[in-house]
Structure 1
Amino acid sequence: MERFIILALVGLTAQLVDGSLGMGYGLTSTTLLLSAGIAPAVASASVHMAEVVTAAASGASHIKFGNVDKSMAKRLIIPGSIGAFSGATFLSHLTGEYVRLYVSIFLLCLGLYILFRFLRMKDARKQEHTALSNRFYTPLGFVAGFFDASGGGGWGPIATPALLSQKGMNPRKVIGTVNASEFAVALSATVGFLLSLGPGKLNWLWVGALMIGGIIAAPISAWIVKNLPTKMLAVIVSGMLIFTNIHAILSYTAINWETTMFIYTLIAVIWSYIIYCLIQKEKKLKRTSSELSINKSTKTS
């Protein structure tokens, strides 16, 4: 019962992050299951099975709040589903002790990708919108879907930043659309895992716990997506992924304890400094916005 509650809380937290940032459910949940010693294919399969339900709840919530671009979602769903099925089949047939290393390296790279992408990202809303063709959506959907299933997460971390980096994209619409289209991607990945592994390999208690937590969080994350400081959450999520998966990777090496602790301390210091800088930047922006509002009201009166 204690593990069920913990996993439900993990599912809730992961869905809050995913629904608010457009990524993080698979990465957060899979990282935790891997650190608990679960086989990579089983961990990814369990997360995607739960994600079918949580993504449906999240997508419905985002549609209700007007956060979904249906045309964009349709262009992402088909290539994303094909990629997810392929990725699930690929991971299910990998064997050996280094499969976990492959997944950990992939998750670490995604953590770094999220960090640098969001820190350097310009505000696309201030740029003129440019229409995107299927030549952009098709490879993006396939690659994001493939790595989502084979790495335990990747649909949001690849699709969301790629879309947000395009001129004129509305962050609210991008996050809502990526979350809504994730239902089809998770369903395709789940089918691929079930055909390759069989339903007997899944721990249905874990799946149920992750589902319950995700369902509770789905409407909350859709509601707060308009006001969330996106860069702050991106840094927090990426830091967690980097720290956790560095630990998994170092376990395959012969690095001594002192060097390991130095690496952990360095990551913690850099991570804390970035968060501090973002907090100061947010405070400065709020002060500037407040001063502009006061000056505007003074001129009007």
Structure 2
Amino acid sequence: MVHSAVSAVESFYDAYRRRLHLWAALVGLTMIAILLRGALQDAGWLVISGESLATGSLLAVFVAALACEYLDSSLGMGYGTTLTPLLLLAGFEPLQIVPAVLFSELLTGLAAGAMHHRDGNIDLLRNREARRTFGLLATLSAVGAIGAVLIAIKISAYWFSILIAGIVLTMGVITILTARRRIRYRASGILAIGMVAAFNKGLSGGGYGPLVTSGQVVSGVPAKHAVAITSLAESFTCAVGLGAYLVLKGGIDWSLTLPLATGALLSVPIATATVRHLPEAVLRRAVGVLTLVLGFVLMAKLLG
């Protein structure tokens, strides 16, 4: 019995090490390809039509997306919230950033959901509660993304953002205080937090993950399930937002979108494995701390 358990653990860690080595090899090969592309272009041996990023910028965007999506797929928050300000500081325009982030989050959300299922963090096929939670959040996301556009001109974005920051801070405190408690599942809590998060996403383009992940945990959803469900629900929200953008604007800056999507997608397999290894209480506390940090940063930015 004991021997079988030890063998199972060893087999699991062998599989994890193989995934880690494969992941490192893919990341390394991608970075080499980026550097090689720059060298060939500088030597005049490679001609790229249209606008393209310089090699240094391309590599920086790839690494930033890799790091931010690892954070997002591990804890259910932080990709758009962290990456968008970094890209703005780097000199990119908002109309370049928003559709690129939405497109990459659409892909990574679907990939993260599939990998969370494969790694055993959630079972959407057998877990009725998880399917119900995803269904509620996805429906509210679509309604919120469209509804927010219709009412944005009537609501003060500043005071709405202040309210969101306060809610994020509250969710962070509650999540930390209840990290070791098993909370009864409440669909009403999912409905309330999903509606607020959907409107926040529609009005500001960010802040979805902190509210939805911590809100699920506070409403009784296991932390590992909450992270996986947030990834899937946010991908649905991004699909709606990207569709609206394409209808209104009709184009995407692929020079920024491709390195973002590549870096983000490569982070997913190692991020979902990280979630599998973390104990429930540790994961819930990490979600709470990160929610608090993001809430403080948002409040400081609004009041500064």
Normalising by structure 2, report the TM-score.
0.65
SS in 2 for 1:140: helix
Alignment partners' CA distance in 1, 2:287 and 2:192: 27
- Match of 1:196? 248
Shift of 1:186: 1.0
Q: Which stretches in structure 2 are left out of the alignment for 5+ residues?
A: 1-54, 123-129
Alignment partners' CA distance in 1, 2:185 and 2:293: 32
Structural mapping, 1:1-301, within 5 Å: 1-68=55-122, 69-87=130-148, 106=161, 114=168, 117-121=171-175, 122-123=177-178, 126-127=181-182, 129-132=184-187, 135-167=188-220, 169-199=221-251, 202-226=252-276, 227=278, 229-230=282-283, 231-232=285-286, 235=289, 239=293, 246=300
8 Å Cα contact 1:56-1:183 kept in structure 2:
yes
8 Å Cα contact 1:59-1:181 kept in structure 2:
no
8 Å Cα contact 1:87-1:189 kept in structure 2:
no
Q: Which amino acid aligns with 1:82?
A: V
Alignment partners' CA distance in 1, 2:210 and 2:259: 24
Q: Which stretches in structure 1 are left out of the alignment for 5+ residues?
A: 95-101, 251-301
Normalising by structure 1, report the TM-score.
0.66
Change (3 A) 1:223 1:235: same
8 Å Cα contact 1:164-1:171 kept in structure 2:
yes
- Match of 2:51? none
Alignment partners' CA distance in 2, 1:247 and 1:37: 19
The count of aligned residue pairs is 237
Alignment partners' CA distance in 1, 2:163 and 2:84: 15
Q: Which amino acid aligns with 2:56?
A: E
Change (3 A) 1:110 1:212: farther
Q: Which amino acid aligns with 1:2?
A: G
- 1:196-228 CA-partner distances (Å, limit 9, x unpaired): 2221xx321211111111111111111111417
Alignment partners' CA distance in 1, 2:300 and 2:174: 23
Alpha carbon RMSD of aligned pairs, Å?
Answer: 3.4
SS in 2 for 1:12: helix
